[in-house]
């Protein structure tokens, strides 16, 4: 099928979409938006694959989010209004489970993740446990020749990271040591210098709806090569302007495209074309 936009990082596999997920999927299709749903643990990875098998314009990634490597509370957005709050058990990344899931996906698993480091929820897991899960996922990605979706979140303001370095420096060091496949650093909020270091070893970065209301991203969005970026929603989180405060949905990624074009003073059609090319380059299984 053909689509005109791609949301490279969404979570239609989360309980926030349990009730009306099909309507959201139909809206995204009607708006010409393809979607990659990203797994955060075994259950949501399985759900992402199940959705991709049912809908031509949906794809999946499978993996273990660093905060799921320890027992953790779940954000309200994930549960959804009236949803049942849940406290997930800590999970271990087992290659056999995820390899099997990949084999059952009929080619619709386009990458491994999201994996990486999360220092914001420090009480929820130790660095060593997150690192072990991260490395195991890199090894599986290498084995299957699939790209990686990288999660990075620094410590709360005023708090130290467990290594004393930035989360970007830590992720970069692990990728350099272990990864033989390309990767995308999602929800990028680092510096231009750090972005350049990712670009040098085969990485890309992606921007969310945050760039539609946080001016602090403008310089970075303008400076990075258009060939090395992606647009995403990270839905149900961070709806872009003019949908702030609502539950985010994949078709809203069009606003992220629009803002990238506006900030860079480039034609929307140029940005749209290039971002589709970028997604196809990193995820060759996408068909559009
Ligand atoms: Zn995510």
Positive/negative CA dihedral, 22, 205, 258, 269: negative
Higher-confidence residue: 125 or 13?
Answer: 13
CA of 268 from ligand 1 middle (Å) equals 25
CA of 135 from ligand 1 middle (Å) equals 18
Look up residue 270 and give its two tokens.
């140029």
3-class DSSP state of 57: coil
Q: Tell me the mean pLDDT in the region 155-184.
A: 95
CA of 187 from ligand 1 middle (Å) equals 8
Q: Tell me the mean pLDDT in the region 148-163.
A: 94
User: Looking at the whole model, is its pTM more than 0.85?
Assistant: yes
CA of 3 from ligand 1 middle (Å) equals 22
CA of 262 from ligand 1 middle (Å) equals 25
CA of 10 from ligand 1 middle (Å) equals 6
Task: Write down the pLDDT at residue 87.
Answer: 62
CA of 17 from ligand 1 middle (Å) equals 14
CA of 105 from ligand 1 middle (Å) equals 20
Task: Write down the pLDDT at residue 70.
Answer: 85
Whole-number Å distance between alpha carbons of 101 and 110: 12
Q: Whose CA is closest to 35, among 61, 57, 3?
A: 57
- Distance (Å) of CA 114 to CA 141, 187, 279, 280: 12, 11, 16, 19
pLDDT tens digit string along 52-111?
Answer: 999 999 999 999 999 999 876 555 455 555 555 556 678 999 999 999 999 999 999 999
CA of 144 from ligand 1 middle (Å) equals 22
CA of 155 from ligand 1 middle (Å) equals 17
CA of 9 from ligand 1 middle (Å) equals 6
């Amino acid at each position: 099928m053909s689509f005109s936009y791609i949301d490279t990082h969404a979570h239609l596999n989360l309980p926030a979409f349990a009730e009306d997920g099909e309507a959201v999927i139909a809206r995204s299709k009607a708006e010409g938006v393809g979607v990659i749903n990203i797994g955060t643990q075994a259950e949501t990875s399985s759900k992402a694959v199940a959705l991709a098998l049912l809908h031509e314009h949906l794809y999946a990634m499978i993996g273990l989010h660093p905060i799921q490597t320890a027992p953790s509370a779940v954000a309200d957005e994930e549960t959804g209004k009236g949803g049942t709050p849940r406290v997930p058990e800590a999970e271990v990344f087992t290659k056999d489970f995820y390899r099997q899931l990949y084999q059952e996906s009929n080619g619709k698993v386009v990458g491994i993740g999201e994996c990486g480091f999360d220092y914001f929820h420090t009480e929820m897991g130790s660095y060593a446990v997150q690192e072990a899960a991260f490395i195991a996922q890199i090894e599986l990605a290498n084995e299957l020749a699939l790209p990686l979706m990288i999660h990075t979140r620094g410590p709360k303001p005023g708090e130290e990271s467990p290594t004393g370095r930035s989360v970007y420096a830590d992720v970069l060091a692990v990728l350099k040591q272990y990864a033989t496949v390309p990767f995308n650093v999602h929800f990028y909020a680092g510096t231009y210098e750090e972005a350049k270091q990712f670009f040098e070893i085969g990485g890309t970065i992606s921007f969310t709806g945050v760039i539609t209301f946080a001016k602090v991203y403008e310089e970075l969005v303008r400076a990075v090569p258009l060939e090395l970026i992606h647009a995403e929603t990270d839905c149900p989180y961070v709806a872009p302007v003019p949908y702030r405060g609502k539950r985010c949905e994949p078709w809203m990624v069009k606003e992220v495209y629009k803002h990238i074009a506006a900030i860079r003073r480039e034609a929307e059609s140029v940005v749209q074309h290039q971002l589709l090319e970028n997604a196809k380059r990193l995820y060759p299984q996408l068909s559009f």
